[in-house]
Amino acid sequence: MEAKETLLEINDLTIHYCMHDRTVRAVNRVSLDIRKGETLGLVGETGAGKTTISLGILRLLQEPPAKIVEGSILFEGQDILKLSDHELRKIRGNKISMIFQDPMTALNPIDTVGDQIMEGIQLHEKLSKKDAYRKACETLEMVGIPAERYHDYPHQFSGGMKQRIIIAMALVCRPELLLADEPTTALDVTIQTQVLDMITRIREELGTSMLLITHDLGVIADMCDRVAVIYAGQIVESGTTEQIFNETSHPYTVGLFGAIPTLDMKQDRLVPIDGLMPDPANLPEGCKFCPRCKNKLPVCETQEPELTELGSGHMVRCHLFAGKEGA
């Protein structure tokens, strides 16, 4: 099977939030890649650094307090962190788009939804106003909203329809990479399924790659080709979806799966992960998961583990697997 070409490559990305009295180490030497046409799932608890990574890719972090300390973000061979604001505007919303977590705050309440969709077309494509209007209407239809509602305002739509409008805004320029930051968090289960099915259908039609940020492992199983599990700003395990689900290795990933109810197993209580994620302004010296780990070793308290490849691209950051490359 021929390997797909890499579209986005992140190397040792480190992002801090520098306050006057402390430094929040939100993302710590994160490396991951997304290949053309695939969906990479980024999963972890709230506060793990998922949204900070996605905002960092588009350089949408407020600086200060945010600061990209080190690393590179290569998109089609170009380091996004070294581009000028003018060069970045040609990519943002055109080649890379983002579905934001909260549609209530992502939409402008004083502009019609159609005008907000058409704005991206006018910024990035040399179309007449008439053709831009037609394309905006077609995009509304593509996400299941009648074109007649072009002139309606955000407050006239339900939460699920607002999320569809956000998706239309992200996809109107047919981007090569879509960053979806928990796109269904505010939706009920029925609407969530409809929106996810729609994203999958449109992504396949356009051939778009996607970074899907979520804490829902069920969504990951349905939509993703590969998965990266993040904890306290670090990738602790990554691999294909089959490897993560069938060859679960890191104690944190094992804990995530242990907290999910299953139909084929009788159990009185779920098994939660003890404790809380550490304060990113005061991270432990050794393994970041050590204070919550039931399998910790003495070395875990003092030495941070490196990523170990267990085989075929399955990576895990844990001292339990040190020296077991290719196992």
Give yes or no for a contact between 287 and 276, defined as CB atoms under 8 angstroms apart.
no
316 - beta bridge partners? 237, 308
pLDDT tens digits, one per residue of 189-216: 777 777 788 788 878 888 889 999 988 8
Mean pLDDT of the chain: 86
CATH class of residue range 6-95+175-321: alpha beta
Question: Domain coordinates of the chain in residue numbers?
Answer: 6-95+175-321, 107-174
pLDDT exceeds cutoff 60 at 108: yes
- Phi and psi at residue 100, in whole multiples of 5°? -80, 160
Q: Alpha helices of 71-188 — where are they, by DSSP H?
A: 85-91, 103-106, 113-124, 129-142, 159-171
Distance CA 235, CA 315 (A): 9
Average pLDDT over residues 146-155: 90
Give the strand pairing for 226-231 and 307-311: unpaired
Distance CA 192, CA 190 (A): 5
Lowest average pLDDT, out of 4-18, 137-151, 264-278, goes to 264-278
- pTM of the shown model: 0.85
